[in-house]
Chains A and B, each alone.
Chain A
Amino acid sequence: MTENSTKIKVCIVIGASHAGVNFAFSLRKEGWEGAIILFDKDPTLPYHRPPLSKAYLTSNDTIEKNALKSLESYEKSNITLNLGVSVNSINRSEKNIILGNGTIQAYDTLVIATGARPIIPPIKGIDTANTMYPLRTAKDVDDIRTAFNKSIDKRVVVIGGGYIGLETAASLKKMGGKVTILEREERVLARVTAPEMSHFFQRLHTQNGVDVFTNKNVTGIDTQDGVHTIRCSDDSVYEADIIIVGVGVHVNTELATQAALDIKNGIQVDTTARTNDQDIYAIGDCTFHYNPHYDQFIRLESVQNAVDQAKVAAMAICDKNPIYDAIPWFWSDQYDIKLQMVGLSTGYTDTLIRKEEGENTKFSLWYFNGDTLLAVDAVNNAKAYVLGTKFIKENKKIDKAKLVDPSVPFKPVNLLVD
Chain B
Amino acid sequence: MAKITFITSDKETIIVEGTSGSVMQLAVDNNVQGIDGDCGGVCSCATCHVHVAPEHVEKTGKASEIEQDMLELDDNVSEYSRLCCQLEISDQLDGVVLTVAK
Residue numbers of A with Cβ under 8 A of B are 25, 29, 48, 50-51, 55, 65-66, 69-70, 72-73, 76-77, 303-304, 307, 329, 331, 333, 338, 340, 381-383, 385-387, 390, 412
Contacts and interface: CB of A to CB of B under 8 A. Distances in A.
Given A338-B44, A340-B44, A390-B73, 18 more contacts: A25-B31, A29-B33, A48-B40, A50-B40, A55-B42, A70-B29, A73-B31, A76-B31, A77-B31, A331-B39, A331-B44, A333-B42, A338-B66, A382-B66, A382-B72, A386-B72, A386-B73, A387-B72
Contacts of B21: 65
Interface string B61-72: 000001001101
B14 interface: no
20 contacts: A29-B33, A55-B42, A65-B21, A70-B29, A73-B28, A73-B29, A73-B30, A73-B31, A77-B31, A304-B45, A331-B39, A331-B42, A338-B42, A338-B43, A382-B72, A386-B70, A387-B72, A387-B73, A390-B73, A412-B73
B36 interface: yes
Contact of B40 (A66, A383, A385): A66
Contacts of A387: 72-73
A244 to B, nearest CB: 21
Interface residues of B, number: 19
A383 B43 CA distance: 13
Nearest to A340: B44
Q: Give the top 10 A-B pairs by smallest Cβ distance, nearest first.
A: A382-B69, A48-B40, A331-B44, A383-B69, A70-B29, A382-B70, A382-B66, A307-B38, A386-B73, A390-B73
Interface in B41-85: 42-45, 66, 69-70, 72-73
A381 B29 CA distance: 30
A72 B40 contact: no
Nearest to B42: A333
A51 B69 contact: no
Dominant SS at the B interface? loop
A50 B43 CA distance: 13
Nearest to A383: B69
B69 A386 contact: yes
A307 B37 CA distance: 11
Given A69-B29, A72-B29, A73-B31, A303 B73 contact: no
A331 B70 CA distance: 13
Contacts of B44: 331, 338, 340
A408 B72 CA distance: 17
Nearest to B47: A307
B17 to A, nearest CB: 14
B3 to A, nearest CB: 18
Contacts of A340: 44
A329 B42 CA distance: 14
A192 B20 CA distance: 37
Contact of B42 (A50, A70, A385): A50
A197 B57 CA distance: 39
